[in-house]
């Protein structure tokens, strides 16, 4: 038996420390692979709590592991702490109001995510020491989840290979143990090089790289009719070749994100997109360089671990919210369109919650068929070790991820409550598994069965290195 009340107490005893860490991460708001202050703060906190920290892993200055204990079982608690560009927002405001125009912001709540996982690791360490539970607790500092796939680079270097099971969570607008796959993806630059010329006097001497980018985009848009419905292809023109219309653009580039339910499907789609790029280069007399940026695998759910996590979540209940918190969440909901308010996962899974300001129920546990439309580098960890994750209500019902509505509550008591509660759920889940080696073996057997004998193949080619936003 695990004393979930004691685990909750251990985290409440660290409430002020943890909220302080989360709010400082929120203020740093550093983007992928540049989370220097954020990583330093988390490492310092882990060391103060008795963890031994190894830094600079897998070619990433901001990747690290904090470890305590010895021997098996080994649990990996996954933390993230990167922000998004262009989402600066005043905390606790019910209107869009950037702190700094064009600045960064934690629009996916990774300041909460990283700190909630930190709470779980600290509480689990102390609980194991109090109760003489053997094993090793590791906090994995995973940078660059937003467009960088830091965990996939770490997996390529074998950093998860000896892990027995892994736990993580994500802030959201619902309380649930997630049992659903996520889309695999490749992210790739297509860089075209042509020849500049005067666009009026000698256009025939020029070869437009921008034309190639546009033709490639047209070709990919035609491809959409001929790929599986679950696949997604997005792009951004990252270099249009300049700002002078009277110059034939000699260079231009676009960045593509290619997604599908299985990594094998992404690989097939990627080859088709590459052929379209080569065709665009042929049509325009330009050259194309294909530069692989990052990738991540589809997530493999694990019902064995998820069932334990749901049991712990049920025992712990969900956080309560006061009138002021509910009123703020209601005001934020007023900024959403009807489609946003009614289109969230919470409304899809629990229609009775659609008029709530903040979710006040734990959704029943069930395995959801298919894939969520998003992606996560947690997927690569889930191929290597049994992995379970939950979500807690940190934001107003219906507010979309990657929005100012998430940023504004990321440093507010609403977000703090969800963060601390996620830490309690993960710590309790880990404690139950650590005391039950047979459960861990069952989770491993399930993973093996789900993979059907397929080996894990890291989707990032050798030679590709982590890079900050270009």
Q: What is the 3-state secondary structure of the chain? A: CCCHHHHHHHHHHCHHHHHHHHHHHHHHCCCCCCCHHHHHHHHHHHHHCCCEEEECCCCCCCCEEEEEEECCCEEEEEECCCCECCCCCCCCCCCCCCCCCCCCECCCCHHHHHHHHHHHHHHHHHHHHHHCCCEEEEEEECCCCCCCCHHHHHHHCCCCCCCCEEEEEEEECCEEEECCEECEEEEEEEEEECECCECCCCHHHCECHHHHHHHHHHHHHHHHHHCCCCCEEEEEEEECCCCCCCECCCEEEEEEEEEECCHHHHHHHHHHHHHHHHHHHHHHCCEEEEEEEEEECCCCCCHHHHHHHHHHHHHHCCCCCCHHHHHHHHHHHCCCCHHHHHCCHHHHHCHHHCCCCCCCCECCCCCCCCEECCCCCHHHHHHHCCEEEEEEECCCCCCCCCCHHHHHHCCCHHHHHHHHHHHHHHHHHHHHHHCCHHHHHHHHHHHHHHHCCCCCCCCCCCCCCCCCCC
How do residues 15-56 score in pLDDT, each as one tens digit? Answer: 999 999 999 999 999 999 999 999 999 999 999 999 999 999
Is residue 250 a contact partner of residue 209, using CB atoms and an 8 Å limit? yes
Residue 344 predicted with pLDDT over 80: no
**What pLDDT was estimated at residue 470?**
53
Considering the domain architecture, whether residues 366 and 263 belong to the same structural domain is answered as no
179 and 307 Cβ atoms separated by less than 8 Å: no
What pLDDT does residue 469 have?
61
In a domain, 470, yes or no: no
What pLDDT is recorded for position 307? 98
Residue 122 lies in a domain: yes
pLDDT of 254 strictly over 60: yes
On whether both 391 and 430 belong to a single domain, the answer is yes
Compute the average pLDDT of residues 264-286: 98
Same domain, 24 and 162: yes
pLDDT at 341: 81
Same domain for 445 and 311, yes or no, is: yes
φ, ψ (nearest 5 deg) of residue 394: -115, -10
Maximum pairwise Cα distance, the chain: 82
Inside any domain, residue 219: yes
> Is the pLDDT at 355 greater than 90, yes or no?
no
Choosing from 296, 320, 355, the residue where a domain stops is 296
The reply to whether 167 and 25 lie within a common domain is yes
- Residue-range definition of the domain harbouring residue 217: 184-296
* Same-domain check for residues 283 and 317: no
pLDDT tens per residue, range 53-70:
999 999 999 999 999 999
Instruction: Assess if residue 463 is contained within a domain.
Output: no
pLDDT tens figures, 415-461? 999 999 999 999 999 999 999 999 999 999 999 999 998 999 999 99
Contact between residue 186 and residue 262 where contact means Cβ atoms under 8 Å apart? no
Give the range among 7-11, 232-236, 371-375 with minimum mean pLDDT: 371-375
153 and 246 inside one domain = no
Mean pLDDT across the stretch 212-231? 97
pLDDT band at 128 (very low <50, low <70, confident <90, very high): very high
What is the predicted pLDDT for the residue at 343? 72
Residues 314 and 277 in one domain: no
Q: How confident is the model at residue 185 (pLDDT cuts 50, 70, 90)?
A: very high
Q: Taking all residues of the chain, what is their mean pLDDT, rounded to a whole number?
A: 95
Are 11 and 18 spatial neighbours (Cβ–Cβ below 8 Å)? Answer: yes
Query: Is 375 part of any domain?
Result: yes
Q: Out of 296, 314, 337, pick the residue that ends a domain.
A: 296
What are the C-alpha distances in Å from 353 to residues 119, 176, 361, 363, 389? Answer: 28, 13, 8, 10, 22
Does residue 469 belong to any structural domain of this protein?
no
CATH code of the domain containing 149: 3.40.630.10
The answer to whether residue 462 is domain-embedded is no
How many separate domains does the chain show? 2
**Domain co-membership, 274 together with 423:** no
**296, 325, 344 - which closes a domain:** 296
Indicate if 30 and 175 belong to the same structural domain. Answer: yes
Instruction: Provide the pLDDT for residue 235.
Output: 96
* Residue 88, domain member (yes or no): yes
Higher pLDDT among residues 1 and 167, named by residue: 167
Contact 430, 117 (CB under 8 A): no
The size of the chain, in residues, is 470
Together in a domain, 103 and 171: yes
Q: What is the pLDDT of residues 378-420, one digit of tens each?
A: 999 999 999 999 999 999 999 999 999 999 999 999 999 999 9
In this prediction, residue 134 carries a pLDDT of: 97
Check whether residue 156 and residue 35 sit in a common domain.
Answer: yes
């Amino acid at each position: 038996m695990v004393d979930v009340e004691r685990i909750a107490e251990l985290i409440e005893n660290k409430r002020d420390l943890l909220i302080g860490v989360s709010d400082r991460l929120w203020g740093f708001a550093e983007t992928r692979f540049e989370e220097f202050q954020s990583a330093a703060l988390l490492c310092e906190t882990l060391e103060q709590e008795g963890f031994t920290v190894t830094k600079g892993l897998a070619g990433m200055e901001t990747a690290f592991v904090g470890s305590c204990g010895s021997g098996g079982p080994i649990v990996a608690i996954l933390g993230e702490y990167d922000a998004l560009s262009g989402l600066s927002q005043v905390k606790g405001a019910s209107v869009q109001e950037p702190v700094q125009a064009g600045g960064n912001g934690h629009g996916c709540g990774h300041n909460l995510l990283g700190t909630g996982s930190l709470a779980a690791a600290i509480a689990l360490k102390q609980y194991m020491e109090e109760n003489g539970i053997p094993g090793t607790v590791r906090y994995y500092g995973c940078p660059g989840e937003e467009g960088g796939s830091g965990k996939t680079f770490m997996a390529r270097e074998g950093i998860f290979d000896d892990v027995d099971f892994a736990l993580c969570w994500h802030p959201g607008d619902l309380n649930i143990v997630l049992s659903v796959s996520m889309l695999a993806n490749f992210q790739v630059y297509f860089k075209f090089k042509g020849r500049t010329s005067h666009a009026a006097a000698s256009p025939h001497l020029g070869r437009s790289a921008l034309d190639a980018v546009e033709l490639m985009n047209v070709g990919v848009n035609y491809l959409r009719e001929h790929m599986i419905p679950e696949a997604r292809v997005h792009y951004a023109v990252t270099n249009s070749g300049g700002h002078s219309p009277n110059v034939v653009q000699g260079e231009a580039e676009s960045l593509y994100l290619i997604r599908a339910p299985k990594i094998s499907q992404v690989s097939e789609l990627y080859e088709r997109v590459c052929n379209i790029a080569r065709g665009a280069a042929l049509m325009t007399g330009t050259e194309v360089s294909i530069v692989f940026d990052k990738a991540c695998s589809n997530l493999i759910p694990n019902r064995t671990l998820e069932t334990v996590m749901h049991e712990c979540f049920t025992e712990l209940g969900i956080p309560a919210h006061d009138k002021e918190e509910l009123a703020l969440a209601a005001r934020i909901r007023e900024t959403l369109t009807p489609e946003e308010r009614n289109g969230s996962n919470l409304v899809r899974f629990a229609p009775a919650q659609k008029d709530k300001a903040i979710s006040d129920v734990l959704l029943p546990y069930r395995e959801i068929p298919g894939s969520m439309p998003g992606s996560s580098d947690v997927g690569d960890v889930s191929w290597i070790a049994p992995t379970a994750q939950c979500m807690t209500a940190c934001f107003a019902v219906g507010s979309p991820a990657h929005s100012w509505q998430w940023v504004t509550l990321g440093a507010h008591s609403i977000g703090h409550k969800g963060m601390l509660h996620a830490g309690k759920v993960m710590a309790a889940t880990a404690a139950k598994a650590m005391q039950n080696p047979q459960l861990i073996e069952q989770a491993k057997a399930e993973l093996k069965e789900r993979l059907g004998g397929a080996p894990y193949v890291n989707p990032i080619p050798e030679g590709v290195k982590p890079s900050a936003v270009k």
